[in-house]
Amino acid sequence: MKQIIPEDALKSLPSSWKVFRLKFLGQFAASGIDKKSKEGEVTVRMVNYTDVYNNETRIIDDSREYMFTTCTSKKAEEYSLRQGDLLFTPSSETIDEIGYSALVIEDLPNTVFSYHLIRFRPTVKFDLSYQKYLCHNDVVLSQFSKECKGSTRKILGRDEFGNVLIPVPSVAIQKHISTYLDHETTHIDTLIAEKKRMLALLEEKHVALISQVVTRGLNPDVPLKPSGLDWLGNIPVHWDIERAKNVFSVRDERSKTGEEELLTVSHITGVTARSEKEVYMFKADDMTGYKRCYPDDLVINTLWAWMGAMGVSPLEGIISPDYHVYKSKGLLLPEFIELLCRSKPFIAEVNRWSKGVWSSRLRLYPENFFEMRLPIPPNDEQREIVRSVKEEEIRSKELIAALNKSIDLLKERRAALITAAVTGQIPLEEVAE
């Protein structure tokens, strides 16, 4: 279905439809409530901005999990939520998320919205189900995008929201459109969910393969022996076990200028150049004294090691002085070390050796890391394991790419269908069937 640009869509509406600026259809309110609780205030549930971002069905009801905070009784009433309210995201780092809305589909007693959101409360009659699509369509979202201000963070104020043009059919036509779209989008959403499940299964299979080969090898019939370690269990009889201090040494070289490539370490991507990622955290003006690392060094994010934030660096660069860099002594190949860092049993063992009062405050320091015992397969077997995993990754990537492309096409179809329906481009007799 051809996607229609907003100007053409608004010019070619059916004759019985009208166009209004959003501010003439209801009232906007920006919340004055944050997450901080104070004594003497009433406890309320709060819809935070993440509720909207993660809510693909774009609805909010009483079955959801809510954050809790406190506010005055006056604010609890002023920023309450009731059936038919729309919550908008007025700011984001990316323009694509600006203006996304979620519909409150039932009255929500003792529930408010946070300062991250803007509430729109209609003062004219709308079909409730139709409101899910009222602003969540390309005609309206593209207008939101044009009205955005800001460079590093995009912002849309109440005035800009209010000036957006909204095509409005009669309530009877709205009912036909919402029934039609509910049916069609449910079918599309089901297909998308199935493909996402396939992606998740592929990821699970890949993770399971890595965990298997770094602890058992490739040959399922190889004789095994007890490793003496809970996280490893039985290992191939010809493998060795070594303390990490015999496998690695600490590298603590410091940058004299701070001008080398800045690297980041995460549990998802391992070690990568910061310039290649969308990172919005503070960056130091002077990185003199940052730790240097080289290709094939193991880099561990001390704070997030328990989550798997570690990996082998493919680059020469610098990292935070709070991280730790280790140089391999040659018993393990860099590619095998990277697989080890991605395996669930190894991450669980890192978690066990990390120290801290709370799970979210665990740290992995060199003295603890060096006490860990690691499996040491022969070098030629390590190479064969790495080669086998890479071959599996190549096969999986083709299927993953096809699934992602299919999901993108379904999402485009969904967006185009909604846009066509709410601008009267689908014949009424087809919508009313």
Fold of 18-168: Adenine-n6-DNA-methyltransferase TaqI; Chain A, domain 2 (3.90.220)
The per-residue pLDDT for 314 is 94
Q: Quick check: 173 pLDDT over 90?
A: yes
Percent of the chain with pLDDT over 90: 63
Query: What are phi and psi for residue 43, nearest 5 degrees?
Result: -85, 130
Instruction: Give the tens place of pLDDT for each residue, 327-344.
Output: 999 999 999 999 999 999
Instruction: Give the tens place of pLDDT for each residue, 111-146.
Output: 999 888 899 999 999 999 999 888 888 888 888 888
Name residues whose C-beta falls within 8 Å of residue 111's C-beta, 6 or more positions apart in sequence: 44, 45, 46, 47, 66, 80, 81
Q: How far apart are CA 405 and CA 402, in angstroms?
A: 5
Mean pLDDT in residue range 243-268: 92
User: Helices 344-353 and 334-342 meet at what angle, rounded to 10?
Assistant: 80
The per-residue pLDDT for 360 is 67
Please check whether the two domains, 18-168 and 222-376, share a CATH topology. Answer: yes
CATH class of 222-376: alpha beta
The model's confidence at residue 78, banded by pLDDT at 50, 70 and 90, is: very high
CB 345 within 8 A of CB 231: yes
Q: Quick check: 4 pLDDT over 60?
A: no
Mean pLDDT in residue range 418-422: 91
* Residue 275, number of CB atoms within 10 A of its CB: 10
Q: Quick check: 3 pLDDT over 50?
A: no
The per-residue pLDDT for 394 is 93
pTM of the model: 0.77
List the domain boundaries for the chain.
Answer: 18-168, 171-217+379-433, 222-376
Q: How far apart are CA 301 and CA 311, in angstroms?
A: 9
Instruction: Give the tens place of pLDDT for each residue, 189-240.
Output: 999 999 999 999 999 999 999 999 999 999 999 999 999 999 999 999 999 9
Mean pLDDT in residue range 272-299: 81
Output 46 or 281, whichever has higher pLDDT: 46
Q: What's the maximum distance between 2 C-alpha atoms anywhere in the chain?
A: 81
The per-residue pLDDT for 1 is 36
CB 111 within 8 A of CB 77: no
Q: Quick check: 410 pLDDT over 80?
A: yes
Weakest mean pLDDT among 88-97, 172-181, 280-289: 280-289
Output 400 or 51, whichever has higher pLDDT: 400
Handedness of CA 7, 8, 9, 12 (dihedral sign): positive
Output 430 or 56, whichever has higher pLDDT: 430
The per-residue pLDDT for 2 is 38
Residue in the block written with tokens 């051809």 = 2
Residue 114 tokens read as 């946070």
Question: In 3D, which of 134, 125, 150 has the Cα closest to residue 100?
Answer: 134
What is the overall mean pLDDT for the chain? 89
Amino acid 349 reads E
Mean pLDDT in residue range 7-20: 83
The per-residue pLDDT for 332 is 96
Q: How far apart are CA 42 and CA 248, in angstroms?
A: 56
Q: How far apart are CA 87 and CA 225, in angstroms?
A: 60
The per-residue pLDDT for 171 is 95
Mean pLDDT in residue range 234-256: 96
Residue 276 tokens read as 């290649």
Weakest mean pLDDT among 24-33, 36-45, 46-55, 191-200: 46-55
* Residue 230, number of CB atoms within 10 A of its CB: 10
Question: In 3D, which of 8, 6, 4, 17 has the Cα closest to residue 428?
Answer: 17
Residue 329 tokens read as 């002594």
Amino acid 351 reads N
